[in-house]
Structure 1
Amino acid sequence: MENNGKVSIIVAAYNAERFLEECIKSVLNQTYNNWELIIVNDGSTDSTKEIAESYLSEKVKVINQSNQGAITARNVGFYHAEGEFLVILDADDIIYNTKLEKQVDYIRSFDSCENVSLVFGRSHICDENLQITREAAVHMPDENYSYRNKIFETNLFPIHAAMFRKNNLKKLHSLDDITIPDWELWLEVIEYGNFKFHNDFVCAYRHHESMSAKKDMSEFQIKQREGILKKIVVSPRFLIADDRVKFNVYYSTARSIHKFSGFNRAVFYYKSALKYNIFSIKCIVGLIFAWFKFNV
């Protein structure tokens, strides 16, 4: 098809030998041709480096570095990216072969009428063998509520479901704070233009055993949620937002922390939410449950 702007796909890989090759092949099989793949090998001790370098070409770059973590690795890829558009892909996931074509066409369709900084589609959650188990959640704003408000409440979509413009961004994620990196990125990207959803499945998110242990790290999850809240509440847009937005931000934070059994912190955020809607039954019920240390 006609090339319509280069896409840089950034893959941070650490000990990813089990799934990296499938990830790479999903990029090679794209129907859209104007792309570059940047694989940042983050100090792997398995055969990740050898697998990645076996695909070296004019379009596939491999950067090897000591282990510094996925956030730093993504930023290294960002600094080397030459594309107009960016896609972030984890080394154990895949993109479907029309993702780049559909998303470049879609974001380009707004060029003459609206400032759009990011487009995103649907994604599947799969097992280790890429057998689909369910659809990943997509959090859409309801009527009279914009993405600019909804992004304050929740991480809207999996990172590899999106494509966004590279211009204006200085980095992908901050390196010094505990936050939810993807969510923090969307908070910055939306400052440069609107988000648009299209109803196509564009990628698969692989869920496997090595990820389950990470999801049980409740204290870390609570710190992440509170870290992203700290970013939100100092945003100029949040400071001038209406009470509905502020209620939803604190209520969604309370619910999230409550689910990780952070009862005392949940009580604090339920109370914060009630400042903006004192008659909210769901918030009062959540507060009572958290006060008596019952899970939701």
Structure 2
Amino acid sequence: MPRISVIVPAYNAAGTIGLALRSTLRALPRDAEVVVIDDGSTDDTGEVAESLADHRVRVVSRPNRGVAATLTELLEITDGELVARMDADDLVLPGRFRRQVSAIEAGADAVFTTVITWGSGFPALPRPSAIRAEDFGMHLLLTNPVAHSTLLARRDTIVDAGGYRDLPTEDYDLWLRMAARGARITRLALPGLGYRVHPGQVTASADWRLASWSNAELAEAYSALAEKLIGAPARRITSLSIDDHLGRDEKLAEFDRFAARFEAALEGRSESARRALRRKLRERRSWLAARIEGNRTAPR
């Protein structure tokens, strides 16, 4: 049984999966496997993956079932103590797994890294900012601060939280549930991934974003974490922005009540954590105000 199972859902990624897998294999320790599910691709994704002819790579091809079902199946057909995620169009940077395994061995349950974005213009370097385990849940109440394809986690942590559910932002939903169960989740400062940005990404779709913002199961998971961390249930800021039953002032007032509880929960945290979270809180209020104004002025 390999210690690390890298799970890779792939759909119509023939042009990128070879480079993605080669970068993964170069960074992996010996005691690891890479398992790809070709999710009903209409191109040569499966053939390209198999052409690497590396004993650590296993490829399963089957009809399309969607990303959440594919991730669940990948968990079922692998057995590594640690589970890493990789996408078929990203690049693993040197040292990623070595640093993540060290963090796991130091007591973390799940470890992410920052990313270098590329594919549209010049590569964008991240602010080298780590997120400590004691602060990660507070970041989740403001936004999703990590890329799914940088995950390395204990398998038990994923399974105990219920695994992936078939809903938009299945990754953020899982982080919320893991954090609510007390998992120690961290983000390392150094980038571990080259994250490819392109127009065909699911996350670039306005329909996908709206489906996520209005999803009831995701709202419930978010509210449960809010109650645990700030002492009261709350709505996602994105969900509040699309509530047609509230006016501008009512939305901002609800956000400000949330912000007051959020501020109170920052007491006792490190100065750097408070500074980062307060900055993000201000940014989210500005985003909400701008979106409300945009909706008011948009043509009907």
TM bucket by the smaller chain? 0.7 to 0.9
The letter for the 2-side match of 1:117 is: D
Moved more, 189-198 or 37-46: 189-198
Residue aligning to 2:98: 101
Q: Distance in 2 between matches of 1:225 and 1:47?
A: 34
Q: Distance in 2 between matches of 1:27 and 1:124?
A: 16
Out of 179, 183, 196, the residue aligned to residue 172 of structure 2 is 183
Residue aligning to 1:264: 244
The letter for the 1-side match of 2:163 is: L
2:112 pairs with 1:120:
yes
Residue aligning to 2:273: none
2:174 pairs with 1:195:
no
**CA gap 1:98/1:67 in 2 versus in 1, 3 angstroms:** same
Q: Distance in 1 between matches of 2:128 and 2:233?
A: 21
Moved more, 25-34 or 45-54: 25-34
Gaps of 5+ in 1: 111-115
**CA gap 1:122/1:241 in 2 versus in 1, 3 angstroms:** closer
**CA gap 1:283/1:73 in 2 versus in 1, 3 angstroms:** closer
The letter for the 2-side match of 1:200 is: L
The letter for the 2-side match of 1:163 is: L
2:29 pairs with 1:32:
yes
Q: Where does 1:62-211 land on structure 2 (aligned, <5 Å)?
A: 62-110=59-107, 116-127=108-119, 133-135=123-125, 146-170=135-159, 172-175=163-166, 178-190=167-179, 191-211=181-201
The letter for the 2-side match of 1:264 is: D
Say whether the 8 Å CA contact 2:82–2:152 is kept in structure 1. Answer: yes
Say whether the 8 Å CA contact 1:122–1:138 is kept in structure 2. Answer: yes
Q: Distance in 1 between matches of 2:77 and 2:66?
A: 17
Q: Where does 1:270-285 land on structure 2 (aligned, <5 Å)?
A: 270-276=252-258
Q: Distance in 1 between matches of 2:245 and 2:125?
A: 31
Gaps of 5+ in 2: 261-280
Out of 214, 222, 235, the residue aligned to residue 226 of structure 1 is 214
Deviation digits for residues 258-295 of structure 1 (CA, Å, limit 9, x no counterpart): xxxx47377575453345468x9995995697267148
Deviation digits for residues 83-120 of structure 1 (CA, Å, limit 9, x no counterpart): 1111111100111132111111222123xxxxx21122
Q: Report deviation, 1:49.
A: 1.5
Q: Distance in 1 between matches of 2:254 and 2:168?
A: 20
Say whether the 8 Å CA contact 2:222–2:236 is kept in structure 1. Answer: no
Q: Distance in 1 between matches of 2:57 and 2:289?
A: 52
The letter for the 2-side match of 1:273 is: F
The letter for the 2-side match of 1:125 is: T
Q: Report deviation, 1:126.
A: 0.6
Number of residue equivalences: 269
Greater fraction of residues in helix: 2
Q: Percent identity?
A: 17
Say whether the 8 Å CA contact 2:129–2:188 is kept in structure 1. Answer: no
Residue aligning to 1:113: none
Question: Match of 1:200, SS?
Answer: strand
**CA gap 1:107/1:51 in 2 versus in 1, 3 angstroms:** same
Out of 4, 7, 15, the residue aligned to residue 4 of structure 2 is 7
Question: Match of 2:144, SS?
Answer: coil
Q: Where does 1:276-295 land on structure 2 (aligned, <5 Å)?
A: 276=258, 290=292, 293-294=296-297
Out of 227, 230, 234, the residue aligned to residue 242 of structure 1 is 230
Q: Report deviation, 1:215.
A: 4.8
TM-score normalized with structure 2 length? 0.75
Deviation digits for residues 29-51 of structure 1 (CA, Å, limit 9, x no counterpart): 12522110000000111111111
Question: Match of 1:210, SS?
Answer: coil
Question: Match of 1:41, SS?
Answer: strand
Q: Distance in 1 between matches of 2:204 and 2:186?
A: 32
